[in-house]
Amino acid sequence: MTMADSLVFCTYFDSRYLPRALALFTSLRRHAATARLYALCMDDLAYEVLEGLSWEGLIPVRLAQFEEGDGALAAAKANRSRVEYYFTCTPSLPRYLMDRNPEIERIFYIDADFYFFSDAAAIGDEMGSGSVYIVEHRFPQSQRALEKYGRFNVGILGFRNDASGRQCLERWRCLCLQWCYDRLEDGRFADQKYLDDWPAAVDGLVISQHPGINLGPWNKANYRLDAADRVPRVNGVPVVCYHFHGMSFYRGGLVELQRADYGSPLGRNWTRWLYKPYLRELASVKRHLPAAERGDLRYPGLMALLGLLPRLARSQFLLQIGTRVVG
């Protein structure tokens, strides 16, 4: 099986996100046995952990190696925050990987907080022979104001190693190097708002129509969720991958499932078929990590915990004890 024959993904994260990144990979390989995931490790600890695991198909990339010889990236790193630099790297990562692995025919960038529930081939099938693949946020009418942050979500994108795909990446990279900040300014927002221009500017663009690809808490109000043979379905079709954006983890196993500004709490089916399996997977993959490297938890003091109380009416919490999830 060659790289051209299998799905190729890339992502980036630091050591705080290790459990989520490992959960992403285990779910990907479960639903696409030959898939590869290139992981840009934003700190040395993340790289050392992945190198030590030596999981087939999970390919760590050291940050220093990625940055080597890229003066434009170094200049950008000097004038923005850590998270803004991470955003800046998004278009540079698939470009870097295709430059060094010309046999890659197409590559999908995916955020580390995704999780696969069914056949990942659906993403490649939907992209087909297209050069660039993007997914809309699909905000419901009640959340339409959030579109100021972008019509499309950067969580998952695909690029073919052809003239149009490479041109799109290069143009996006140049824009992010010039301006990529975690704020709204002059019609821009981080690396994401730039995608609004792609329908008019990119040849071979494919806009996803699959409701189960990049399903997320911001668009849940659009859909009905159930399950068949223990596979979650959205409006009757399998959920391919869910974007677990906005989750917060607290001392004692308390987990806030979504940001309060995403509207009403999740219903029972959403917690049963999506969130609980994901939390159990996070607990499972943490067993592969030394205790000091399990990350992904914040430890607020008593006053911070008390500050959560007003959000209980607007959000939703679960309690996780080992692999058992209550709520």
Q: Counting runs of H as helices and runs of E as strands, what totals does the chain give?
A: 12, 19
Tell me the β-bridge partners of 321. 324
pLDDT value at residue 326: 54
Ranges 34-43, 51-60, 250-259: which has the least confidence: 250-259
CA proximity to 66, closest of 109, 100, 20, 37: 100
Q: Quote the DSSP letter at residue 224.
A: -
Say what percent of the chain tops pLDDT 90: 77
pTM: 0.90
Alpha carbon 176 to its chain's center: 18
Residue pair 34/6 in contact (Cβ under 8 Å)? The answer is yes
Ranges 135-139, 204-208, 311-315: which has the least confidence: 311-315
Query: Token match 């995403």: residue?
Result: 262
Architecture per CATH, domain 8-250, reads as: Alpha-Beta Complex (3.90)
Q: What tokens does 327 get?
A: 């709520």
Higher model confidence: residue 268 or residue 60? 60
Mean pLDDT along residues 219-225 = 94
pLDDT value at residue 237: 97
**Maximum Cα–Cα distance for the chain, whole Å?**
55
Q: What is the pLDDT of residues 176-189, one digit of tens each?
A: 999 999 999 999 99
What are the domain boundaries of the chain?
8-250
Handedness of CA 98, 102, 106, 112 (dihedral sign): negative
Residue pair 131/165 in contact (Cβ under 8 Å)? The answer is yes
Q: What is the pLDDT of residues 46-95, one digit of tens each?
A: 999 999 999 999 999 999 999 999 999 999 999 999 999 999 999 999 99
